[in-house]
A and B are shown apart, each in its own frame.
Chain A
Amino acid sequence: NAGVTQTPKFRVLKTGQSMTLLCAQDMNHEYMYWYRQDPGMGLRLIHYSVGEGTTAKGEVPDGYNVSRLKKQNFLLGLESAAPSQTSVYFCASSQWDTQYFGPGTRLTVL
């Protein structure tokens, strides 16, 4: 089992560009999450999903959209990237409270 995978691993964007981050899990988990991690800020929840076809806002949802069309995939979209969105993005999945994380995507917005 691959667990949780994320694509891409690294990306550099210019201000105003858009992109989609892909998260995939093969553990048949119902819950999936997107976090961002910034120095001195810890992990902050952006959006999450409690099942296929559902999404909900987390702590810092502004500037991001998500979709969960298939149970195993959770997409994070940036419609118009801003320098403040430079961060490391982690996806996670869980069945109960234990969360399993992907390796992260390092995004730089210039």
Chain B
Amino acid sequence: RKEVEQDPGPFNVPEGATVAFNCTYSNSASQSFFWYRQDCRKEPKLLMSVYSSGNEDGRFTAQLNRASQYISLLIRDSKLSDSATYLCVVNRWGSQGNLIFGKGTKLSVKP
């Protein structure tokens, strides 16, 4: 099993759609979880951290299921500006600062 695994997509959705991304991780010792966003030919930027209780930031909701080692990101009311690659990120073996990046899921929102 790969350390962090994501569906590469692409996900092609119309504006206003709800889209969900899933991610699985292999090491149960991981303690920190994130979603990063990367625009084409740009650097990754933190979208949101993921907490055990689930957390929401506007149209974005992140969920963590430790038992299944599964992380999700839900985007509601998609905008054209949401088009990007979304990276699932997990810290490495419980160590601070050392992160493992998934290969990313590409989202394209169409008018």
A-side interface residues, number (CB < 8 Å): 21
B91 touching A40 by the CB < 8 A rule?
no
B42 touching A103 by the CB < 8 A rule?
yes
CB distance from B60 to the nearest CB of A (A): 16
Which of B42, B45, B91 meets A97, CB within 8 Å?
B91
CB of B49 within 8 Å of the partner chain: yes
Q: Could you say which of A42, A94, A101 has the most chain B C-beta atoms within 10 Å of its C-beta? A: A42
Which secondary structure dominates where chain A touches chain B?
A: strand
Interface size band for B: 10 to 19
Interface, chain B (partner A; CB < 8 A): 32, 34, 42-46, 49, 87, 91, 96-99, 101-104
A99 neighbours in B (Cβ, 8 Å):
46, 97, 99
CB of A109 within 8 Å of the partner chain: no
CA distance A43 to B6 in the complex (A): 13
CB of A107 within 8 Å of the partner chain: no
CB of A34 within 8 Å of the partner chain: no
CB distance from A26 to the nearest CB of B (A): 16
CA distance A101 to B42 in the complex (A): 10
- Chain B residue nearest in CB terms to A93: B97
A35 neighbours in B (Cβ, 8 Å):
101
A101 touching B103 by the CB < 8 A rule?
no
A101-B104 CB under 8 A given contacts A45-B98, A96-B96? no
